[in-house]
Structure 1
Amino acid sequence: MRLRRGMECRSPPSIHYNSGSTKVHADETVAAIKDAGAQAVAFQADLTSATAVEELFIDTIAAIGRPDVALNTVGKVLKKPFLEITEAEYDDMSAVNAKSAFFFLKEAGRHVTDHGKILTVVTSLLGAYTPFYAAYAGTKAPVEHFTRAVSKEFGERGISVNAIGPGPMDTPFFYPAEGEDAVAYHKTAAALSAFSKTGLTDLCDIVPFIRFLVSDGWWMTGQTILVNGGYTSK
């Protein structure tokens, strides 16, 4: 199927999970999709390996066919003073946030259908000037450049490629890295914090933008869009 303005993705979703510790969440997602009347599959892979990313797409295509949409949500946060970040920590952050995104874009470009959509979740810290997140925001930053480059290269096939940067989100990804004082600050830092039930970005705040970018928003490409209630801007 070719995705054009006003059309929706019809291929069944393939869900990725990193390890056994997150399999339960992948299974819950697959179950929810099936309860809604659709089909879905889930695959495990450590996407810090280029070979693993390639195999994930091969397995997906074998199970459901070529995807119309490829959405990369892989990420890892580290909040730590610059002078305390070790080489091992830097290498790990770079592998998760930058290397995996690079090879995800590469395999997505090879395998998504013509007129498909590719989207990477980054962070609104790409628009912030803040201490302690150098390894996190710094290893997410290359995705902006990857996105711009491949949008030019894949555009001849009608494929749009973007990145979306949520603000601090009310998810298990956010809280382990933050102390109570930091959480309290983030809950009041966005211009629209008072109108959020937690003060943070909620999943339901992000989903409409993702849906738009992989459907009617096809004309937007090569962009990094920060969606954060006014937490920060570029």
Structure 2
Amino acid sequence: MSKIALITGATSGIGEACAHTFAQQGYNLVLLARREDRLAKIAHHLEDKYAITIKQVFADVRDKESLTAALEVLPAEWKKVDVLINNAGLSQGLDPIDKGDTNDWDIMIDTNVKGLLYVTKIVSNWMIPNQSGHIINIGSIAGKEVYPNGNVYCASKHAVDALSKGMRIDLLPHGIKVTEINPGMVETEFSVVRFKGDEDRAKKVYENLEPLIADDIADAIWYVVSRPKHVNINDMLIMPTAQATATIINRTP
């Protein structure tokens, strides 16, 4: 059987780009997402285009019980996952701590931290008997720096940074690689979600600069995964040329 990659948040942005990249490389895919219709459309397109096989998992990483049930019913041969891409994540709101919406906080922590943990626990236990595997955690520049009004989102991505380091230590005896990929400004649905559907406000984030696109990150992830067995890229911070830090950006009209 071909190698298998499991990708969370697979119906848009970096997750969808990774699905295309790994399908092109001949991987069979387990695609996990909340948007069932979009998931089916992407899966059928990739199967037709690349002659691979895809298992669709309709689940929300925040819901531990239904997530566990949806993954554990996979046939045994589909649990031989070679690569896990923990991509599901989001930002909600951009408010100072005293004005933050606690519902937004719950969504970010439940998705970015707890969801990543739930998926990793399940899949790492599939990898351990094989004494191999590669876990890719999608972090952020927000996991390296804190910026104004980023508070809880930055905290959630700092948690991903710490968890990636902890996983690397814990899974070392089992031959499982752990890599953290930390993008700067990537033009996806990220800002539309952060601003709760306000597309005009989201577009302003990328005005007068050339941001990264999802394919740039998928390409970097493939580079990391395609290194020899004895090589692991622990951590990668990827920025558009126009961005020096989380807040220092060259916007040239």
- TM-score normalised by the chain length of structure 2: 0.74
8 Å CA contact retained: 1:2, 1:114? no
Kindly indicate whether residue 187 of structure 2 is the aligned counterpart of residue 170 of structure 1. Answer: yes
1:61–1:70: structure 2 CA closer, same or farther, 3 Å change rule? farther
Q: 1:160 aligned to 168, 177, 193, which one?
A: 177
Kindly indicate whether residue 135 of structure 2 is the aligned counterpart of residue 118 of structure 1. Answer: yes
Pairs within 5 Å for 1:62-141: 62=76, 64-78=78-92, 79-112=94-127, 113-141=130-158
> Aligned partners of 1:42, 1:182: CA distance in 2, in Å?
30
Q: Matched residues, percent identical?
A: 17
8 Å CA contact retained: 1:13, 1:41? yes
CA deviation digits over 1:154-202, x for unaligned, max 9?
12221101121222222222234357577445445xxxx4xxxxx1111
8 Å CA contact retained: 1:144, 1:224? no
AA at the equivalent of 2:239? N
AA at the equivalent of 2:101? T
User: Counterpart of 2:37?
Assistant: 24
Q: 1:15 aligned to 31, 35, 42, which one?
A: 31
1:13 match: secondary structure = strand
8 Å CA contact retained: 2:84, 2:123? yes
Select the structure with the greater relative contact order (CA < 8 A; seq sep ≥ 6): 1
AA at the equivalent of 2:36? K
CA deviation digits over 1:133-169, x for unaligned, max 9?
2121211211111111111121222110112122222
2:136 match: secondary structure = strand
Structure 2 segments unaligned to the other structure (5+ residues): 4-21, 247-253
Query: By how many angstroms is 1:217 displaced?
Result: 6.1
> Aligned partners of 1:158, 1:151: CA distance in 2, in Å?
10
CA deviation digits over 1:4-58, x for unaligned, max 9?
xxxx98652011112xxx2232122212221211111211112113333433432
User: Counterpart of 1:196?
Assistant: none
Q: 2:232 aligned to 216, 220, 228, which one?
A: 220
Query: By how many angstroms is 1:205 displaced?
Result: 0.9
Alignment length (residue pairs)? 217
139-148 vs 85-94, greater mean Cα deviation = 85-94
- TM-score normalised by the chain length of structure 1: 0.80
> Aligned partners of 1:182, 1:29: CA distance in 2, in Å?
25
Kindly indicate whether residue 63 of structure 2 is the aligned counterpart of residue 49 of structure 1. Answer: yes
AA at the equivalent of 2:114? K
8 Å CA contact retained: 2:186, 2:212? yes
User: Counterpart of 2:167?
Assistant: 150
User: Counterpart of 2:17?
Assistant: none
